């Protein structure tokens, strides 16, 4: 898994590429925590390049969305690929986070 970060205005876009599992999810969590502790609260998870995620990925998204919301921000999901979409639906995770087709839409959603 590879993580990269892009700051668009007040929104931190975290791109996650490759495969997200029980080994890589903790790395992602600590990456998120570092941003979070620096005061960033508005996040977009860019999942264009995320081909696979296990339940560990859902736990990460769940935990970080909860943390962000508690500080008045949010974690929104963009460009979900088929396998990830499948487990989002199965866990009804898509009911509790906002999922967007593209990164732009997810970023712009913070301006409205």
Partner 1 sequence: MNNIILTLITSDILTTVAAYMSVSNLIDALLIILILALFYVIRKFELNRRALKLKAERNEFLSGVLNNAPLAILITDNEGKVTDANEVFGKVFGYTKEEIAGQKVDDFLRKDTLPGESSNNIYSENEEHKKIYQICRRLTKDDEPVDVELHTSPNYIGEDQLGYILFYNDISKRLKAESALEITTRNYHNILDTLEDAYFEAGSDGVLTYVSKKFVEATKYNSKEELIGKHFRHLVARNSVAVFFKEFKKIYQTNKPVEPFDLKYITKDGQEFSSEIVVSPILEDGKAVGTRGLIRDISERVKASEILKQAKEAAEQHASELASINRVAEKVSSSLGLEEILSSVCKELAAIFPVRNAGVSLISSDRKMLEVLAFHSINPNDEIHTGKYLNLEGNVEAKRLLESKQSIVVRKAKSDPRTKPVHDLIKGPGKSSIIIVPLVSRGESIGVIGMTAKDPDYDFKNTEIELAETIASQIASSVENARLHAKTEQALDVAERDLEIGRQIQSGFFPKDLPEIPGWEISAFFKAARQVSGDFYDAFEIGDRGFYAVVVADVCDKGVGAALFMVLLRSLIRSFSEQNRDETDVEKLLDYIATNVNNYICNTHGQSNMFATLMLGILDASNNNLYYVNGGHDAPLLVDENGNCKTNLEPTGPAFGFTTELTLEIGKVEFVPGDMLIVFTDGLTEAKNSSGEFYSEERLKTQLMKRWCSAFSAVKFLEIDAISHIGNYSQFDDITLVALRRNSVNQTFCHSMSLKAEMDNLPSFRNFVVEACRQFKVNEDITETLKLAGDEISSNIIIHGYKGRQPGDINIQMSIHQNELNIKISDTGNTFDPETLAPPDLEAEIDDRQIGGLGVFFVKEMVDELSYSSVNGVNTTCLKMKL
Which residues would be at the binding site for partner 1 (CB under 8 A)? Answer: 19, 21-23, 52, 54-56, 58-59, 62-63, 65-66, 69, 83, 87, 90-92, 96-97
Kindly tell me which of 2 and 7 has the beta carbon lying closer to partner 1: 2
How is residue 100 written in tokens?
Answer: 């967007």
Tell me if 108 sits within 8 A of 78, measured CB to CB: no
Nearest CA to 91 out of 54, 50, 45, 39 is that of 54
Kindly tell me which of 90 and 101 has the beta carbon lying closer to partner 1: 90
Tell me if 46 sits within 8 A of 81, measured CB to CB: no
Kindly tell me which of 38 and 72 has the beta carbon lying closer to partner 1: 72
Q: How far is the CB of 41 from partner 1 (least distance, A)?
A: 15
């Amino acid at each position: 898994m590879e993580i990269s970060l892009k700051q668009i205005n007040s929104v931190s876009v975290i791109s996650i590429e490759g495969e997200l599992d029980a080994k890589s999810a903790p790395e992602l969590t600590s990456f998120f925590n570092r941003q979070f502790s620096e005061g960033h609260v508005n996040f977009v998870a860019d999942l264009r390049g995320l081909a696979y995620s296990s339940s560990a990925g859902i736990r990460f998204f769940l935990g970080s969305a909860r943390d962000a919301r508690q500080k008045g921000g949010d974690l929104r999901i963009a460009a979900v690929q088929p396998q990830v979409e499948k487990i989002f639906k199965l866990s009804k995770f898509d009911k509790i986070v906002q999922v967007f087709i593209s990164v732009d839409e997810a970023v712009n959603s913070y301006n409205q």
